[in-house]
Each structure stands twice: as structure tokens, then as C-alpha cells.
Structure 1
């Protein structure tokens, strides 16, 4: 069987994509990864589509120069606004974080009421609504933008009272009472899962893109769309567009390591 030991590229506006990387790292222990966090230009959720496409193109050019075999867009905003362009621009497999979540949510809902929380750009794009509607037009989609979540996480306010108050402001709403599935439409949001789940019943299935993306990558390996690596050691290289103390701290906790190989570059 042929193998491909080239790394998998993963990028996000900052540290939210670490939730995806952690799942990939644990699931595919023979694979190596290059992670790019665009910490100089976050958050993406308030930027225009033209800007998001430009940022995503620059990052993918960088990853392509580093000879990745697959690119995972671990950012919902870029997945919603830039992936169509990236797929036409690059001759590489591209995985976004929206399609795997939509597919999973559509299979597990029992009453057809699905909630979506995300950044302003993701919610305004109606990317989730459109994709779910194509699967089943009877789905009732309840959307809520939660734009303050990302800056609060990136600034290190994860356990601060202000973050709890912001969660209450966004999520303490009657419109969510009927949903039986909630899609966390931003890879940062699983970091706040302990707060988020307090506003939903125990029967509500909360969809985390990290797990659904790992399953999707497994499918690509199984059908040989992308070849598995055969190496015995896993290497992870990190690139950031600006220094970030919070990235270093959270990466160490999330990935259970104190040794991070990080370089800082300007695109």
C-alpha cells in the first residue's frame, strides 16, 4: 500500500483550531501537522468576505509551499466565506468544518429543530441554513450570533465572570427551547462548552466540529482520496502571524505538552 508522509495543514484565525488539531492529533497518531494561527489579524468573524478570502489565500499559499497533502480550514468563518474560492484555486483536497457538522446534525435530530451559534460573519452568511435546507427543507434552524466569544477566549477571559455573563446574554433565550441539536459553529466555542451546555437540556446533542472533521478525514483515508502516513513519530509545527501568550498557554493545556515548536511569520 502506498503512503504519503507529507503533513496535514490546519489553519484558523487564532487558537480555536486547536480544538480540531487535538482531535486529529489523537485520532491519527502517525500523521504530522502544520498549524497556522492568524493571531495578527483575528477575529475573522467581523471581517468582509473579500478580506477573509484574501487572508485564507495567503495562508493556503504558505501551507502549500510547505508541501502539505491536505488542508483543513479549521475556522467556520473562512469555511463559510472562502472555501468555494480555495477549492477552485488550489489543487489540493480541502476540508471545511461546516459540511461534517451539517451532515451529522441532519442525521441525529429527531424533531428537526437545529440550533446554530457562530460569529457574525458565519451567521450572516447563512451557510449552515443553506446546507441544512438542501438536505431537508423541513428543518427549523434557530441561529444566534455570539461574536464576543472569540475575543474573550483569545484575550484569556475563559473563566472570567464577564464570559459567563456574555454566555447568558446570548443563550438564555426561549427560541432555543425546542431544539434537540446545537451546532457550535465556531471552533473556538468548545473551549466554553461548560458554560454553553448549561443553557440546554441534557437531551440536546451538541455538535463539536473537531470530532466530525476527524471522522471526515478518516473517510478520505478509507477511500484513498488522501494517503495515510507510515511514519512512527508524529511531528507538529506551529506558525503564528503574531506572538500570543494565550495561544502558548492554551496550546500547552489543550495538547498536553509544554514543548511547542512555534515560529512567527508575516504573510
Structure 2
């Protein structure tokens, strides 16, 4: 029960999920690995994504993690079932929780999804939404410029707003859309900008909160809750790339000032 929970992502985006997990489960210990060196995953080939995801998983398994959270929509879409079948621990992705949140939120029954090219091409969100509500209307659009923008750390510049406006212009053509799923865990980092662009008629959703609920439910189901209720662990953050964007985000945005940060190499 005192073993850590592993969280993986292609870069800094999964910090949105880590932040929410830490908020909901403050007694748990988390180890986060972001593969910023090879980010973004969204435009890479399926075999590459599978290989890179397994390399991250194998690295975290050395820490005897008790649960794995795939805080990457692309990896969730392409590798989740394979990981579930082959790992001896519970594995959670971010797509099903995001779909459930959208079903709860929509009043018009028309949900838009934005994500990486791989996530959108996989239609994983559409499948998840239809499994819950077969008559749901969906519109899915890839936004390949978002992840490089966020990973660069330059998302507060005027250029960022222009990129967001251009990428989300399709919303104006669908007046019935009232819910937008951020189908990439990087996107919540610019959620305020996205909300400004789409306006008040569209509810913008991240899967982080629902993912936290699911992790909590599985910890209860498998009797894996951390036994020591007094001890508080700060997350350990590993990255394969440069540290500066992680450093800024963990301290200025996600209140993870005391989390350790270390560069690693994956083979």
C-alpha cells in the first residue's frame, strides 16, 4: 500500500493530471516521467509510440509502483489495452474519464474533441463516448501546433492566441457544440486561453479531475490506499529532456514547489 503510483506522459502535459491526483490523494506517493526529449507523440508512428511508452513504463516499474496512470491521450489510445494485459498492476488511461465528464456536461448532445493527430485518428474518444451514449454527436479536430507551443514555454505570447484562434476556428461552424474535450493533457496548461477563444457557450473539459476520481476508486477496490495517514510525500519528477519548462510549470502553475526534478535517459 505504501508503494508509489506511476504517472507517464510524453512531456509536461501530464503535470495537469499529477496536480489533480496530488490534490485528491495528498497522502499517496507519485513518480512522474515525462519523455520531453521525444515529444510530441501525437505525430509519431504507432510502433514508435508503443516502444517509447513501454520504455517509460519499464523505467517506472523499477520503483515497484502499485498503479500506472497513462497521462497521455496518444499513449492511452494506442497502448492502454496492451499495458493492461501485460502488467501485474492496475493501469488507468485518461480517455474514458474524459468521455464520462463530457457526457455529464453536455446539454446539446454535441461534443467536440481536440487532440493530437494520433489521438484524433484513433477515434478513441468517439468510441468511448458512443459506448456510454450511443446517440451522441461528435466533432473531432487535431491541433498539432498546441503541444510544441506548450513544450516551448512560450504559450503566454500573442502568437499563442493566434495559434489557438486558428486551430479552434471550426467551433464557429457548429453552433450546437456546447462541450469541448481537451483530448491531450498538455492542453489544460492553456485552458484559460482556449476558454477565451471559444467563449462562454462552450464548456471546456480536462480529464484530470475524472481521472483522479477513477484512481481513488481503484485504490479502494484493490485495497491499495497508502496506510500511513500522517506522512506526506512530495512527487518525484523525471524527464528525458530539458528541465527549465518543468521547473517553471511545477512551481508557478501546479504548486509542486517541493517536488524533486531530475533528468534521466531511457534506452
Does the 8 Å contact 2:101/2:207 carry over to 1? no
Cα distance in 2 for partners of 1:83, 1:226 equals 22
Cα distance in 1 for partners of 2:199, 2:151 equals 28
Does the 8 Å contact 2:76/2:95 carry over to 1? yes
Q: Deviations over 1:217-267 (max 9, x none)?
A: 122133x22510023222311111122311111111133244441222211
- Tell me the equivalent position of 2:157: 160
1:192 corresponds to 2:218 = no
CA-based RMSD of the aligned residues comes to 1.4
Cα distance in 2 for partners of 1:35, 1:15 equals 10
Cα distance in 1 for partners of 2:118, 2:11 equals 16
- Tell me the equivalent position of 1:251: 250
- Tell me the equivalent position of 2:208: 210
Does the 8 Å contact 1:142/1:175 carry over to 2? no
Runs of 4+ in structure 1 over 6 Å off: none
1:125 corresponds to 2:93 = no
TM-score by length of 2: 0.94
TM-score by length of 1: 0.94
Which of 139, 142, 158 does residue 136 from structure 2 map onto?
A: 139
Mark the runs of 5 or more structure 2 residues left unpaired by the alignment.
Answer: none
- Tell me the equivalent position of 2:168: 171
What is the total number of aligned residue pairs between the two structures? 263
- Tell me the equivalent position of 1:76: 73
Cα distance in 2 for partners of 1:195, 1:256 equals 20
Question: Residue 47 of structure 2 aligns to a residue in which SS?
Answer: helix
Does the 8 Å contact 2:72/2:185 carry over to 1? yes
Question: Residue 134 of structure 2 aligns to a residue in which SS?
Answer: coil
Cα distance in 1 for partners of 2:119, 2:108 equals 24
Q: 1:238 to 1:45 in 2, by over 3 A?
A: same
Deviation at 1:44, TM superposition (A): 0.6
Does the 8 Å contact 1:115/1:176 carry over to 2? no
Cα distance in 2 for partners of 1:211, 1:226 equals 21
Deviation at 1:203, TM superposition (A): 4.2
Does the 8 Å contact 2:111/2:139 carry over to 1? yes
Does the 8 Å contact 2:234/2:259 carry over to 1? no
Does the 8 Å contact 1:14/1:154 carry over to 2? yes
Which of 12, 24, 29 does residue 26 from structure 2 map onto?
A: 29
